[in-house]
Structures are given as structure tokens and as C-alpha cells.
Chains A and B, each alone.
Chain A
Amino acid sequence: MPDFNFGAVLQGRYLDWLIAGACKTLLLFFAAWISGFLIGLLVVSLRESRARPLELLAKAFVGYHRNVPGLVQVFIWYFGVPQILPEAWQAWINDHGSEFFLVWIALSLNAGAYMSEDLRSGVRSLPPTQLEAARALGMTFVQAMRVVILPQALRVALPPLTNQSLSLFKSTSLAMAIGFAEMTYAAHQVENESFRTFETFAIASVFYWAGSFLLMWLGHACSVKLKAGRAAR
């Protein structure tokens, strides 16, 4: 067994790369989570809108993102989409860090599609009379959604949403394929130069484990809290 030397990796520019990678992974995750969640809310309201064309649009959106590999979705946005944009836009994107920008779009849309399905299962778990009762009390559709439907739907959707957040966190590693220097990319780079494969991968893995377990714990804590809130009432 070779002697392990974590100090050789956790120093100088290797350490800088790994820290930068960790920051970029977290940035990409938070950015894509927020926009993904908003997209998910939008898509689920389209899906439940009872207007046929909007429903079909939402269905196609979800179908595409569920049946095409995430890596291919990232490729489409990074290699494909700039080609069909006007040149002025291409130049603008290139000036403003196209890697982050495009991979962020790809991951948000992907997460949005999956989250909309989770939210939908939550909305569907409620009897339709709840919405009708809320409307009969004089609430608008938006009010009824906000005050009555969504708080309950979120409670049901929380476990799958937690899983989805975990998936998104791990999917940020796809960004390495287009050269966005997040954690996996940084680990690969450090490993290439230092030849300390085990140490480098171990550090990157510990980072991902820490993030993943934190997310699982957060999801669990939220659902416990929501259940407690419900029991108190």
C-alpha cells in the first residue's frame, strides 16, 4: 500500500483549485436550485391549468428532460444553442462566461422538469374540493394556491423534492464535461498534475458526501418540523 499524503494535495495551487472548485459547485447548485424550483412551480401550474395546449407544452417539457441524459442536455445548451443564436448574443455570452451561464440554464431546466413532477404529486394528493372551498370563500386562484394548496402540497412533495435536490447537487459535476471548473473538474486537474489519485478523489468525495448528507438531513429536519406544525394545529 502506498503511503498517503494528503498534505501534498492540500497545499499551494492544488488547494486553490479545490477550493475554487468547491465554491463553483455550490454556486452552480444554489443558482440552479432556485431557478429550477421557480421553473417547477411554473410548469406545474401550466400542467394543472386545464388549458389543453399549455398542458401539452408542460408535458413535452417534462418528457424531454426526463428521457434525455443530463450530459446531452448540457451539450445541447453549450455546443448547440449558441449556433442558432444571433452573433451579437453569442459574443455577449462568450464575454460573460458562457460555461457557467449555459450550464446553469441546462441544469435549471432539468431540475425544474423533475421538481414540477414532485410538486404535481403533492397537488394531486389534495382533494379538489379544497380549491373549490377556498374559491367559494372568495379567495382568488393565486390566494387559494398560496394559502391553502401549496403549503399542504409541499408537505407531501418534500421527500421527493429532497431527493431531487440531491440529484441536482450531484448533477453539477456534469459541468466538468464542458470545462466549467467545479469540484469534479478541479479534482481531475489536481490528480493529473500531482499523481496523488487516491488523496485527490478522497477529498472531492468527502466534499460531495458532506453536501449530500447535509441535504438529506435538511430534508428530514424540514419534514419533521412540518409534521410537528401540523400536529400542533
Chain B
Amino acid sequence: MIEILRDYGVLLLVGQFPNGPLGGLALTLCLAITGLIASFPLAVLMGIARTSPIAAIRAPATAIVYVVRGLPVLMLIFWAYFIVPILVGHSVSGTTTLICALVIYELAFMGEVVRAGIEAIPAGQVEAARSLGMTYGQAMRKVVLPQALVHMTPSILSQLINLIKNTSLGYIISVNELTYAAYQVNAQLLTKPFEVYLILAVTYFVICWLLSLCVNRLEKKLNRSSTRNPTKEATA
């Protein structure tokens, strides 16, 4: 096992970088973080649309959520592989395809997180904001979203864990992330699949487990501050 790490550790960490394209664990993390950043603003819009009082906005947003939730991520990746080149007019790399598929996936799942966050804000707050003369948009921007987003941080962080796990599907379209790198290492060694995949599993485990500890911490902290001083977060 140590020999594998000595011979292939760098390949698993960064791929061919700096002499070639970035790969391995570094690419996995880049993909997940890019996916999170790219999908966040869209997810907020999605959450607002899902809770909108106007049915014509709510209905299509709900449809998108169900359509995406009903498909395996692999099918989303295949669809992206087919549709994205048509939309942009030229062929795109596997990395771009994967990010597009992950953003669509997160649009539905993180959108639901945002929706839950918005719905958790007591209706009285919106009513109070409206009766002070704010428009719906102002009430959303100044009263509801700032509080909802703070409450949502743990859930958004768990979406990052989800994204990290889902980047492993890039293997199917030969994106050189961690799982694909491990697959290649295994193909070169041939005799030690158990060790190679154990290293792979342990790597994912450590990263996702550490992140989930952060999620738990954050949740506890938020719960404590909201029970001790319920008005504090409104100003935060």
C-alpha cells in the first residue's frame, strides 16, 4: 500500500500537473467548488421562484425540481454531454460537461435547501416588512434572505459533500478526477485492485467526514445562538 502511495501518490493528488492538465484529488475539489459557486446564485433564484406567490413562476420551477430529481446523475451527465455542445456550438471538454451536469443537479437540490430556508422564516416577518411599506422584493432581500442564508450554511456545506461524491461520476466520461486517476493506477498495477480502491475510499472518506464534522459544528452553533438570542440573527 505504501509503495502505491510512493509511486502514484502525486498522480492521485494533482494528476500530471504542473507538466500537464490538473487531475486527481485537486481536480475533484476544483470541480466540486466550482459546481457549488456556479450553482449557488441559480439555487437562490430557484428557491425564490419555488416560494413565489405567483403561480406562473412557481409552477415551472417546481417542474424543474421534479424533472431533475427523477433522473440519475449519470443520465444528467449523458444529457449534458449531448446538449451542451449543441447549445454552445462547438465540442466541450469532459470537465465542462461534468460541471454543467452538476450545476443542473444542484439547481434542484440546493434550490430545495433555499426554499426550506425561506419557508422557515416566520410569515409574520414578511407581513411586518410589507406593512412597513416594503415591496415583496425588498422584504425578500432585506429581511428574509439574510436570515435564511445564515440558517442554510450547514445545508449548503452538505451540498458540497454531495458534490464531491458526485464528481466521481466524471469517471464515466473520462474526466481525470480522483476516481478516474485511481482507475488508471489500478490499470497499470493490475494485481492490487483492493489496495488501490481502499486508498481511494479512504481519501474520500477523510475529506467528506471532516466536512460533515464542520456541518455538525456549524449546526450546533447556529442552534445555540438562535435559542439564546433569537433577535441576534436578524441583525447579522
Contacts and interface: CB of A to CB of B under 8 A. Distances in A.
Interface stretch (A35-43, A76-84, A139-147, A149-157): A76-84
Interface string B59-84: 00000001101111111001100100
B204 A173 contact: no
Contacts of B186: 79
B205 A68 contact: yes
Contacts of A70: 165
Contacts of B196: 80
A177 B70 contact: no
Contact of B168 (A71, A76, A79, A184): A71
Interface stretch (A10-18, A200-208, A224-232): A200-208
B29 interface: no
Given A71-B171, A201-B79, A171 B72 contact: yes
A184 B165 contact: no
A129 interface: no
Contacts of A204: 75
B45 interface: no
A73 B82 contact: no
Given A71-B171, A72-B204, A80-B198, A213 B165 contact: no
A42 to B, nearest CB: 22
A98 interface: no
Interface residues of B, number: 36
A164 interface: no
A68 B28 CA distance: 13
Interface residues of A, number: 39
Nearest to A198: B82
Interface in A134-184: 166, 170-174, 176-177, 184
Nearest to A163: B69
Contacts of B161: 67
Contacts of A177: 171-172
Interface string B191-214: 011101110110011001100100
Contact of A69 (B78, B166, B194): B166
A27 B182 CA distance: 30
Given A69-B179, A212-B70, A205 B75 contact: yes
A233 to B, nearest CB: 31
Given A67-B208, A80-B193, A205-B79, 4 more contacts: A69-B169, A72-B179, A83-B194, A171-B72
12 contacts: A68-B204, A69-B169, A72-B179, A83-B192, A184-B75, A188-B78, A201-B79, A204-B75, A208-B75, A209-B67, A211-B70, A212-B71
